Amino acid sequence: MKFNLGQWRMKEGFNSASLTQIRQVRLSEDGTKVSIFGVSSYRQERSMDGPTLEIEITSPGEDMLETKVVHFKGDRQKYPKFELNEQKVVLGFEESEETGTNMFGMESTTKIWKISSGKLHLTIRNIFPCSFVYDYDGRELTAVGDRFGTAMLSHVTTPDGNFMRGQLDVGVGEKIYGLGERFTPFVRNGQVVDIWNEDGGTSSEISYKNIPFYLSSRGYGVLVNDPGPVSFEVCSEAVTKVQFSVPGEKLDFIVIGAPDRKGVLTRYGALSGRPALPPVWSFGLWLSSSFTTSYDEDTVNSFIDGMAEREIPMSVFHFDCFWMKENEWCGFEWDPDMFPDVEGMLARLHAKGLKVCVWINPYLGQHSPVFDEAVEGGYLLKRPNGDIWQWDLWQGGCSVVDFTNPEACEWYKGKLIKLMRQGVDAFKTDFGERIPTDVAYYDGSDPVRMHNYYTYLYNKLVYDTIAEERGEEEAILFARSATVGGQKFPVHWGGDCNSTYVSMSESLRGGLGLTLSGFGFWSHDIGGFEGTASPDVYKRWLAFGLLSSHSRLHGSNSYRVPWLFGDEAVDVCRTFSKLKNSLMPYLYAKAVEAHETSIPMMRAMLLEFDEIGCEDLDRQYMLGDALLVAPIFRADGDVDFYLPEGTWTHLLTGERVLSHGGWRREHYDFFSLPLYVRENTILPIGSHTDRPDYDYLDGLELRIYALADGKCAERVICDTEGIPVLKAVAERNGDVITVTLSGSRKDADVRIAAMEDGLQVEVVR
């Protein structure tokens, strides 16, 4: 939200009271909180009038400093709160003074306070204006901006109500990333970002997954700790600032420091929650019935048997909306005309080695078979006058389940358990964004701040129900909406994209933004959702989709089985599905890493490379630490991509490229794309291509790529439960590479190959 007209004036009817002077600073007895009393006008003598700001500095975790700024603290409204893993860290606290000349030419004494958590420091100077500067281990990160003698921690009155505003400086060349899955430009500088979940597709500024956390290229992060409509002006209203504002009288933000960008995500994940580890079978190919298509058990079997006949490995079949009758969504009851033997059908699918996913959402149409049941139980959101909230968008008389009501949660949970006991393994938790604000929640929560937070309650309930019924190791969603903490309930997919190259690229851009916002896993609709892709788009999207963390064929008004796109599409689908399965010893270890550290499987280049050339890249990514993937977004098969400095080896062709850090243009057929292995890498290749869940040590090959003389490389292999069972460390001295194997399965029959002629490999166990 913009408050100013340029640099000098505020908008008509807008007034700001910002921190001008600190009058009192106190450290709590237990050392965990610094309380600051500030005023909005400079005072040399005692005075009692004018707006004041009360500020608390705490640390919710090492290398994090949280700032809470309050104008009026009498607000009794109940607000939902992000479920953060907050600690009470004892702060470092130093107080000092220095004498100098102030801006009026008068000698004055400046008080200085240094507040620390780990290596993150906040230095506050009570000069005119007040100065708040953050540094990490002596490296300056950012500062609270100033304007006309005031620090930009402000209370603003507007014709639309009161707001709290903060501004943090952005340095020369600094770039801002994250803020959720956004389809606008990858670098957020210059953008207005409103944190408000909406169902808007993938081709606008609207987003399904709004996360009020951003990552700076300087190696720090900022979380605005408010589940409501946070508005970010990223170098837009003030071109050297990130401004964030929230309605009301309170502002809460957390600055996170770390040695590097990966470290910021790791610390943010420790605070907001680590991604759960998805079951290993979920990394195989998912095939959907598609959205508006008609289908029955015979249709489903024709798809599954068709994939098997064509030797295309798949792991999951997904039943989209029409597993229920039309206009009865979401009623949790199978259409008996199309699926007369549900338990038998699902058992037959399981016998073919498949898992089963079904589509659900948190809305109930009036014609749903459970609508009256939900009304009678009081399970639906109500208007302030007590009527059930309804509208006709999506389903006639559509209503919304109230997940703040414990009885409603138990009721909804019971519907899911019934489906799982019929044989359902996973749920696609669609929607969760169209949440009204003119309602009264069961627990009295503010409906505006519940709008974004609703998705957390929704996805958490479904995920926890699966975990309770099947075991945590089997729990997985395919979710569209999210807020802070949603990463704990993977997997999320990109939403309703078009079936074009442009939309394919915007999907990747959105996914990279999400994975820079704490999410470890991400997927998208292979071939696009809206419309039907041309065969070339479909085939290029297959390569991209099967080199993503999770892979699903899904669409809207047509089936997405590959033979409908030509014989070559079948071959391309088979090739990349088998390739992904062969990479599972590597990929699953990267999934475990994402679970343990919050470093995502699909990584923006800037996470792995501290090169200026990597800071803007949004058409390529690193799949884990070792594989560079550049999807092809052109009909002619040409692709421009950036190779960071080093020696790179194409995984499929073996071609080696020595790069000094620069751009390349290459041409590929549909069976390949830029897929390069980083230097000094041990890449594990599995011997099974028919499924993702197998014994990764059975016939394992460890390939050593471009290991420089005097360098070491290492790789950890996990079993299918995520437990490390083998560690390989390779060290090169001259023409000899010594590989040391350790772990519980160090004696496994592992083949080791140096992918460079003339090198000898010696194995030590």
Enumerate the active-site residues.
430, 433, 496
Tokens in use for 467?
């975990």
Q: How many helices (H) and strands (E) does the chain have?
A: 11, 47
Distance CA 765, CA 750 (A): 11
Q: How many CB atoms lie within 10 A of CB 500?
A: 18
Distance CA 324, CA 694 (A): 34
Nearest to 55 by CA among 5, 19, 86, 88: 19
Buried b or exposed e, range 230-251, using 16+ CB within 10 angstroms:
bbbbbbbbbeebbbbbbbbbbb
Cα three-residue angle 713-718-723, rounded to 5 degrees: 125
For residue 578, CA distances in Å to 306, 621, 691, 704 come to 16, 21, 8, 21
φ, ψ for residue 464 (rounded to 5)?
-65, -35
DSSP 589-637: HHHHHHHHH---SEE-HHHH---GGGTT--S-EEETTTEEE-----TT-
Residue 431, CB half-sphere, CA atoms under 13 Å: how many? 19
List the 250-257 sheet strands across, edge first.
21-27, 34-39, 52-58, 64-70, 250-257, 220-224, 209-216, 176-181
Distance CA 289, CA 561 (A): 9
Phi-psi category of residue 578: left, alpha or beta, with phi > 0 → left and psi -120 to 50 → alpha: alpha
Distance CA 615, CA 610 (A): 8
Helices of type H across 143-296? 261-272
Element (H, E) at 166: strand 161-169
Hey, what amino acid is at 645?
E
Residue 340 DSSP one-character state: S
Residue 696 DSSP one-character state: T
Nearest to 399 by CA among 436, 429, 430: 436
Q: How many CB atoms lie within 10 A of CB 338?
A: 17
| Cβ(589)–Cβ(716) below 8 Å | yes
Burial classification of residue 658, based on how many CB atoms lie within 10 Å of its CB (0-12 exposed, 13-18 middle, 19 or more buried): exposed
Q: What is the largest CA-CA distance in the chain?
A: 89
φ, ψ for residue 662 (rounded to 5)?
-175, 180
Tokens in use for 337?
């005309």
| Cβ(134)–Cβ(122) below 8 Å | yes
Tokens in use for 664?
């390349």
> What SS3 class is residue 119?
coil
Distance CA 579, CA 581 (A): 5
> What SS3 class is residue 305?
helix
The residues near 348 (Cβ < 8 Å, ≥ 6 apart) are none
Q: Provide the terminal-to-terminal Cα distance of the chain, rounded to the nearest Å.
A: 61
> What SS3 class is residue 454?
helix
Distance CA 270, CA 599 (A): 11
